[in-house]
Amino acid sequence: MNAVAATLGGPASRAARRRRRSEAAGTAAMFYPAFALVAAVSFFPLFYAIRQSLHRADYLELGGFVGLRNFITLFATGGGLHFLSVSLLFVAGTLALAVPLGIGLALLLARPIRFRTAFRLVLAFPWVVSELVTGYLWMWFYDGRLGPLADLFSRFGLANPLSDPHTALAGVVLASSWRAYPLVMIFTLAALQTVPVDVQEAARLDTLNEWQRLRYVTLPLIRSSVLVALVLTTLHSFNSVTLVLAMTGGGPVGATDVLGMRVFSEAFQFYRMDVACTIAVVIFGLNILASAAFIRVLRGQPE
């Protein structure tokens, strides 16, 4: 027994315990500062917004507790349904254009064509451009004096889309899709590299044409990656503010007043922080619902 105790409490055992404590201290030294930073920039603003949305507020000064009255007022008389419908149209339009375009370009760039690397770099360029630059760039495209697209519209008797309430949202959606498609393209292109060559060869031997191979072989194998890109594009579109602010500021006549733009307006133009926080909580809830729906679809996919 004395020998066993001496062995367990010997220098080697003490050194192992010191090493484990040192590793634990190193892990804590790296984890807790990062966690504190994430909490400061993510969790605290979320809790602050939820708290503000349940109270009256005089800008940053917290007032009395009102429960869900801010939410009821927002959707009953505050234009909440309009902001929500514009946001849903904005997100749906962006996905409808960006996802097929991204997948189509990825399929083309997966082929052994000349200058493929250069094409990939050029086509991925919109994603690295900021929303502010994207907004001003597309405003120039639509400009009635210098813009190439405005000149094209004028040939068909069409006005600048950003100045017409009926077409302004479509103009912003086009710019949003231009910036969003590279993400879908990159995810799809990466997924295509994982499709086994023998599966593709077997599909060719089964006399499937190119469309059938794409529909029944390629797309099912890359569906999970495409859905991830779909989730990220949806969340980014729901939270978009800068692009709309740069191009239209929510106008004309509220035609492009998405939820994110309305948060900015309520907080920094009208100084109604309780309304801004209420809309921000609505956006957060929509993000959670969209993410949960996509995750459920992903879990149902075969490995």
Q: Is the pLDDT of residue 156 over 50?
A: yes
Q: Could you tell me which of 140, 89, 131, 76 has the C-alpha nearest to residue 254?
A: 89
Q: Is the pLDDT of residue 144 over 90?
A: no
pLDDT 10s digits, 50-108: 999 999 988 778 888 998 999 999 998 878 999 999 999 999 999 999 999 999 999 99
User: Is the whole model's pTM more than 0.75, yes or no?
Assistant: yes
Q: Is the pLDDT of residue 146 over 70?
A: yes
- Cα 142 from Cα 145, distance rounded (Å): 9
Q: Is the pLDDT of residue 182 over 90?
A: yes
Say if CB 268 and CB 157 are below 8 A apart: no
Say if CB 246 and CB 268 are below 8 A apart: no
- Cα 287 from Cα 293, distance rounded (Å): 10
Say if CB 172 and CB 258 are below 8 A apart: no
| pLDDT score recorded for residue 22 | 74
- Cα 298 from Cα 228, distance rounded (Å): 8
Chain centroid to CA 79: 24
- Write the CB contacts of 164 (distance below 8 Å, at least 6 apart in sequence): 252
The residue length of the chain stands at 303
CATH, range 73-299: 1.10.3720.10
Rg (CA), the chain: 26
Confidence band (pLDDT; 50, 70, 90) for 11? low
Q: What percent of the chain has pLDDT over 70?
A: 94
- Cα 52 from Cα 18, distance rounded (Å): 47
Q: Which two tokens stand for residue 23?
A: 């590793």
- Cα 261 from Cα 46, distance rounded (Å): 18
pLDDT 10s digits, 21-43: 777 777 777 878 887 887 788 78
